[in-house]
Structure 1
């Protein structure tokens, strides 16, 4: 196409590629001219919408603070399911609401830096969600400034939505934020994550039985000492076989 465009330009002709028609516009056009095809068109439109949602990136953010400090947890999920985790330790004091705002701003800025244009955002802060959706009025001046920054960043995406979810659905970002707030780890230290597939002590009931193996038994005679005293029993001991 580029070579043709160059050749046509020598004759004063400008080549313009055919733009892609919006899927919903095409569906509406066909539906207007054929009542029989309307059910099929609606079904196709739904399938196209599902495919568009699959291509969307997902952002989960959370802010946490305790007596050790403030930390932000950010999880950015690719459409394929992979994740980009980010933990930010803050060298300043903040309230819980400010930490939530800071985490969301940092997450949106990360998505911007990666040139993501289609983003679904999930947070567990009901206050922040209602501020963004204008269900609650923002009373504090600092939070109002935070909200202006978030909306400015949100308007830069081609498709954007923000939803409040239960904490258990935002657990990954929550764990990152709480870990950073609880452990003041220097940046040069890395925490390795290892996996183990078996228990240290194997459960005998799960051990396969070899039919060719025969245990050697030994006859033993137990002689009781008449002067021995019974050992005291642990009151907290519980027999696992009971």
Structure 2
């Protein structure tokens, strides 16, 4: 109400045409020796130029079972499996689990896991990848720190280097076993479910909520009564049987 005594008129600003800006730049040219100033304080620069190549991550692990023959003091390799986890540049995850058709040692299973991961990376045309594994032997042998003394691992080592040459940028890292638990779980899952008669086994993993207090409200408070119980223990070879007979019937052992 106070401003009503003044004659105030609103005049909108006219748009500045592109020709006016061109005329201003032509009238005020920059000196030839003026340094280029790329500082833009009023704008947020997200990136300059093209972004670097997308970096993938690979976690691998192998698992193998074996049995020892006491008479011959030798170890026979058993079932084996490999687990792989790819992490895309957008932080998506791809899980792979394979059971090996032939028995092998644990070190051979680790090599098989690395080789399988490299073959998949080549098929997906990955240009740069970081590879993580918990096998100190495999990582150091591929890196050249350890020598390959086992003749059975020499062919794995040579083929691994051949695959690494087909990926432009590949870096290997050794991580603690706890940091590689997901790939380890996939490898053990494939090993335990290995079936010589089946080439592939479909395993479905679903989520389920834990038991809540709401679920407990539907349970009757009446204590559960066990009507009968049976045991599968062989009574003839049970050392407790004579003691039970003595306490119940007075029969001496």
TM-score (norm 2): 0.56
Determine the C-alpha separation between the residues in 2 that align with 1:80 and 1:60. Answer: 16
Q: Which SS does the other structure have where 2:115 is aligned?
A: helix
Q: Of 107, 110, 118, which aligns to 2:128?
A: 118
Q: CA deviation at 1:142?
A: 2.4
Residue 137 of structure 2 aligns with which residue? 127
Regions of 4+ moved over 4 Å: 185-189
C-alpha RMSD of matched pairs (Å): 2.8
Change (3 A) 1:199 1:184: same
Q: Which moved more, 1:181-190 or 1:170-179?
A: 181-190
Question: What CA distance in whole angstroms lies between the structure 1 residues aligned with 2:212 and 2:137?
Answer: 46
Deviation, 1:138, is 0.8
Q: Pick from 137, 154, 158: which aligns with 2:164? A: 154
- 1:90-239 matches, within 5 Å, as 90-184=100-194, 186=198, 189-197=201-209, 199-202=211-214
Q: Which has the higher helix share?
A: 1
Give unpaired runs (5+ residues) of structure 2. Answer: 1-34, 39-44, 67-77, 217-253
Aligned residues: 160
CA displacement at 1:156 relative to structure 2? 1.4
Aligned equivalents of 1:125, 1:147: Cα separation in 2:
14
1:147-187: CA deviation from partner (whole Å, max 9, x where unpaired): 11111111211111011101111111100001111223645
Decide which structure has the larger Cα Rg and report it. Answer: 2
Q: Provide the rounded CA distance (Å) in 1 between the counterparts of 2:114 and 2:123.
A: 14
